[in-house]
């Protein structure tokens, strides 16, 4: 069966301009951090990508180390592109990153030019692509001069292996320097990918202001705090939750009585808004015009369509915002 995307796929999605660039991103992007490795059902992974695309999501976000094992999410994406999306590559934004441990030895981690260029070459092979649309440095490297890391991103664009570049997990001072260096090299920083949710708000201490001033896009990851900002944990820890099954990123001790109390209070506001808690948490991020897109993860196609419904109501009253801040204090 040849996959034919939904004809009306662009009608209900919103698209936002990414910083000071010609590029627009769908308000939601699909992250392939989980559910695309060798341990995942391939047909389900394939359905997730198709569901996202059928609903106007154009941006698919990877990294060299996504899996498990590292590299397998990119391989999975490569197979899906070949099987289903050969004719739609130009309607897709595909991003990847390098910065975490990928292979043994001194050249498989951090931020050297050697590592970044080699890593992207490997990523392109795994996905069978000529270029990625966005290539990120995944985290700052305290030992490599920032000039070298940014020069590597600049080189990658000049080589035609990426159209745009971005940074991820950079704090405000590091981000400011990186943005300045790239500007001087003539390859502007397109976008920053920080961890940001109602429960993780460090970006409000200077980073969002910097990105707004410098006209750099922002795409938060973990917007639902690894599932905490869903109705999943309102009554304790369910057996099929990520905490119960892997406990790798979200641990049971994160789910304190105090945390549950906050989740229950936030859920009440969401219900008053006619939203699920997860939808409100996503809308809360998108209410800020400096946010270009929000990265969602998904294990089931219906989670994607459910998340997109957050766009039906991204306006918050002052009272709602004040109450949310009070709860989150």
pLDDT at 242 over 70: no
Residue ranges of domains in the chain: 15-226+277-316
Angle subtended by helix axes 172-185 and 146-158, to nearest 10: 40
How far, in Å, are 90, 146, 252 from residue 121 at the CA level? 20, 21, 38
Residue 308: Cβ-neighbour burial (10 angstroms; 0-12, 13-18, 19+) = buried
Q: How far is CA 65 from CA 23, 47, 272, in A?
A: 26, 22, 40
**Would you say 241 and 34 are in contact if contact means Cβ atoms under 8 Å apart?**
no
- The pLDDT of 77-94, averaged and rounded, is 98
Q: Match 């890593």 to its residue by tokens.
A: 119
Average pLDDT score over residue span 17-29: 98
Q: What are phi and psi of 22, to 5 degrees?
A: -85, -5
Reported as a pLDDT band with limits 50, 70 and 90, residue 184 is very high
pLDDT tens-digit readout, 266-295: 999 999 999 999 999 999 999 999 999 999
Q: Domain 15-226+277-316, what fold?
A: TIM Barrel (3.20.20)
The conformational region for residue 227 under phi > 0 = left, psi -120 to 50 = alpha, else beta, is left
pLDDT, tens only, 124-136:
999 999 999 999 9
> 235 pLDDT band (50/70/90 cuts)?
confident
In whole angstroms, what is the distance from residue 147 CA to residue 163 CA?
A: 20
pLDDT over 90 at 144, yes or no: yes
Residue range 29-41: mean pLDDT, rounded:
97
- Taking residues 148-160, report their average pLDDT: 98
pTM of the model: 0.95
Question: How far is it, in rounded angstroms, from Cα 18 to Cα 190?
Answer: 7
Q: Which helix (H) or strand (E) holds 262?
A: helix 257-272
One DSSP character per residue, 293-322 reads -EEE--SSHHHHHHHHGGGG-----HHHHH
Let me know: does 30 contact 48? Beta carbons within 8 Å.
yes
Q: How far apart are CA 157 and CA 50, in angstroms?
A: 29
pLDDT at 29 over 70: yes
Q: How confident is the model at residue 233 (pLDDT cuts 50, 70, 90)?
A: confident
Going by DSSP bridges, is the β-strand pair 24-26/15-17 parallel, antiparallel, or unpaired? antiparallel
User: 196-215 burial, b if ≥16 CB within 10 A, otherwise e?
Assistant: bbbbeeebeeebbebbeebe
Q: What is the mean pLDDT of residues 171-193?
A: 98
**What token pair was written down for 284?**
């809360």
Q: Which of the 8 DSSP states describes residue 8?
A: T
Rounded to whole angstroms, how far apart are CA atoms 240 and 186? 48
Question: Coil, strand or helix: which one is 5?
Answer: coil
- Taking residues 64-73, report their average pLDDT: 98
The answer, yes or no, to whether residue 247 has pLDDT greater than 60, is: no
C-alpha distance from residue 165 to each of 7, 18, 216, 313 (Å)? 31, 12, 11, 31
Q: Is the pLDDT of residue 92 over 60?
A: yes
């Amino acid at each position: 069966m040849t996959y034919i995307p939904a004809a009306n796929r662009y009608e209900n999605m919103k698209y936002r301009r990414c910083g000071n660039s010609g590029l627009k991103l769908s308000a939601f992007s699909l992250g392939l951090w989980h559910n695309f490795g060798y341990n995942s059902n391939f047909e389900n992974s394939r359905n997730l990508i198709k569901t996202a695309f059928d609903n106007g999501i154009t941006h698919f976000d990877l990294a060299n180390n996504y899996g498990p094992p590292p590299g397998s999410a990119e391989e999975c994406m490569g197979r899906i592109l070949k099987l289903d999306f050969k004719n739609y590559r130009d309607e897709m934004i595909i991003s990847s990153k390098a910065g975490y441990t990928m292979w043994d030895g001194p050249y498989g981690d951090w931020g050297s030019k050697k590592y970044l260029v080699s890593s992207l070459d490997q990523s392109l092979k795994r996905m069978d692509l000529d270029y990625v649309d966005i290539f990120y440095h995944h985290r700052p490297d305290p030992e490599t001069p920032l000039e070298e890391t940014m020069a590597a991103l600049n080189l990658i664009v000049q080589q035609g292996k990426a159209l745009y570049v971005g940074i991820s997990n950079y704090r405000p001072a590091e981000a400011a320097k990186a943005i300045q260096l790239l500007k001087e090299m003539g390859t502007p920083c397109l976008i920053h990918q920080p961890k940001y949710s109602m429960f993780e708000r460090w970006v409000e201490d200077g980073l969002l202001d910097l990105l707004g001033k410098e006209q750099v896009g922002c795409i938060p990851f973990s917007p639902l705090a690894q599932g905490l900002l869903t109705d999943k944990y309102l009554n304790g820890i369910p057996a099929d939750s990520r905490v119960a099954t892997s406990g790798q990123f979200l641990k049971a001790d994160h789910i304190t009585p105090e945390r549950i109390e906050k989740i229950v209070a936030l859920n009440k506001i969401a219900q008053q808004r006619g939203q699920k808690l997860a939808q409100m948490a996503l809308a809360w991020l998108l209410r800020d015009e400096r946010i270009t897109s929000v990265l969602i993860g998904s294990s089931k196609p219906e989670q994607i369509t459910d998340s997109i419904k957050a766009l039906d109501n991204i306006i918050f009253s002052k009272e709602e915002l004040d109450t949310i801040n009070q709860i989150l204090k």
